[in-house]
Structure 1
């Protein structure tokens, strides 16, 4: 079996439920047929044991069939999965530890550049408000505007 199929919960659930269905169906058929046979042979059979027993035996047969069908589907899944090729593992290149220090320096320079670029930009309305406030401050303090 392929590893991805054996790790599938649905696949294992199919197998377990198929086996359980077959086992319950087999138990039901066996118990009903043995009860019907025993009561018919000794002459104590009632209508309930005979007619209901037949219906329950049919239900058990259906459960056995469902279990067999589930196992056959699981086998078909295994066969189909074995036909699908698995991709080959990609070779991993060895790590060049000397390049790590150069990469760290480049990353640090990029971080400084990104911090400068990420300064909040203001709209023209905000720029006008800032210029007005600077003019008002200059008049209050008596310093010329720059």
Structure 2
């Protein structure tokens, strides 16, 4: 099953959640840095604004970093998909002109169980030729041994 990347729900989830994570992380960082800067410069900063603000900046940085990594993975997946060649359509998968018929899924005929794959090595050819002229010996049963 060859699915295009733009039709994959996993790809879109990766992209949307990465963008959301990066956006929320950037918003947390900008808001807390702005609050800490203004209260520290005014001299009205409390311990909660300073120390909790630092922790929230770290959480925002982690979210921003995860979002950026997710976006980079999505871009890398797109690049790999563009580089890989798509499989050529086989003659059996082409439309036959009637809309209700489904194309055949097999591309090569089935081999019957009686035919063996051929080996073209000279040694195997000699062995087969030699064995073809000899009569077969009957198999011994387990009780006659």
Q: 1:17 matched to which residue of 2?
A: 17
Higher relative contact order (CA 8 A, sep 6+): 1
Structure 1 residue 93 displacement after superposition: 7.6
Q: Distance in 2 between matches of 1:64 and 1:82?
A: 27
Q: Distance in 2 between matches of 1:93 and 1:54?
A: 63
Structure 1 residue 83 displacement after superposition: 2.2
Q: Distance in 2 between matches of 1:33 and 1:94?
A: 65
- How many pairs were matched up? 94
Q: Distance in 1 between matches of 2:46 and 2:26?
A: 23
- TM-score norm. by structure 2 comes to 0.60
> Compared with structure 1, are the counterparts of its residues 42 and 9 closer, same or farther at alpha carbon in structure 2 (3 Å cutoff)?
same
- TM-score norm. by structure 1 comes to 0.60
Segments of structure 2 that go 5 or more residues without pairing to the other structure are 98-145
Which has the larger helix fraction? 1
What is the DSSP-based 3-state SS (H/G/I as helix, E as strand, rest coil) of the residue aligned with 2:4? helix
Q: CA RMSD in A?
A: 1.9
For 1:30-63, what per-residue CA distance to the aligned partner results, in whole angstroms no more than 9, with x for missing partners?
1101110111011110011001100100110111
Structure 1 residue 27 displacement after superposition: 0.5
Q: 2:54 matched to which residue of 1?
A: 54
> Compared with structure 1, are the counterparts of its residues 55 and 93 closer, same or farther at alpha carbon in structure 2 (3 Å cutoff)?
closer
Structure 1 residue 94 displacement after superposition: 5.5
1:41 equivalent in alignment to 2:71: no
